[in-house]
């Protein structure tokens, strides 16, 4: 049973990681950072450093948590079912956007301070920031849906 769950999580995680990776690469290139990606591997062209976007940091854990938080936000912030559904549907974009921002910040910090940023302390801290950012984005999307209605 555990192997089946792990397979499902991997299958869901990969598209999330791909979307966040390509969004981050696009943003970084827009600001002149020499970077490219192969699947979920970020490669800094200036120093050859490779940063893997793994399952653990792909946003899948945030997605599962935000399904609950998003349902609560949607119920409390929206008055009609269709708007609750619209709000709840923004969970996936929130996770991908928060993860892409985390990747952008990680790359910029690595360029400024070196590979120490990829260590456990920084990695964990950026993961918490990503989680908080995803919740804030979900709340902001809810405010946007509310303003449109």
Contact at 8 Å (CB) between 146 and 77? yes
Residue 76 class from Cβ within 10 Å (0-12 exposed, 13-18 middle, 19+ buried)? Answer: exposed
The answer for residues whose C-beta is within 8 angstroms of residue 113's C-beta and 6 or more apart is none
Q: List the domain range (segments joined by +) for residue 74.
A: 2-148
Mean pLDDT of 90-108: 93
Q: Is the pLDDT of residue 122 over 70?
A: yes
**Measured between alpha carbons, how far apart are the two ends of the chain, in Å?**
44
Q: Is the pLDDT of residue 63 over 90?
A: no
Rounded distance between C-alpha atoms, residue 6 and residue 4, angstroms? 5
Number of domains present in the structure of the chain:
1
Tell me what pLDDT residue 104 has: 96
In degrees and rounded to multiples of 5, residue 52 shows phi and psi of -90, 130
Tens digit of each residue's pLDDT (9 = 90 or more) over 15-34: 889 999 999 999 999 999 99
Token pair in block for residue 109: 């910090």
Helix (H) or strand (E) holding 44, with range, is strand 41-44
Tell me what pLDDT residue 149 has: 78
Q: How far is CA 72 from CA 85, 111, 133, in A?
A: 11, 39, 17
Contact at 8 Å (CB) between 62 and 134? yes
Tell me what pLDDT residue 1 has: 62
């Amino acid at each position: 049973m555990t192997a089946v769950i792990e397979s499902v999580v991997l299958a869901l995680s990969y598209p999330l990681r791909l979307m966040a990776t390509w969004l981050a690469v696009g943003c970084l290139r827009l600001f002149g950072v020499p970077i490219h990606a192969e699947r979920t591997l970020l490669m800094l062209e200036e120093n050859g450093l490779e940063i893997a976007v793994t399952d653990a940091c792909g946003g899948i854990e945030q997605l599962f948590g935000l399904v609950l938080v998003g349902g609560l936000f949607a119920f409390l912030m929206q008055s009609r079912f269709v708007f609750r559904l619209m709000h709840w549907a923004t969970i996936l974009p929130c996770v991908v956007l928060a993860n892409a921002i985390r990747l952008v910040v990680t790359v910029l910090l690595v360029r400024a301070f070196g590979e120490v940023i990829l260590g456990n302390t920084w990695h964990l801290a950026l993961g918490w920031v990503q989680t908080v950012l995803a919740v804030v984005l979900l709340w902001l999307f809810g405010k946007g849906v509310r303003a449109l209605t």
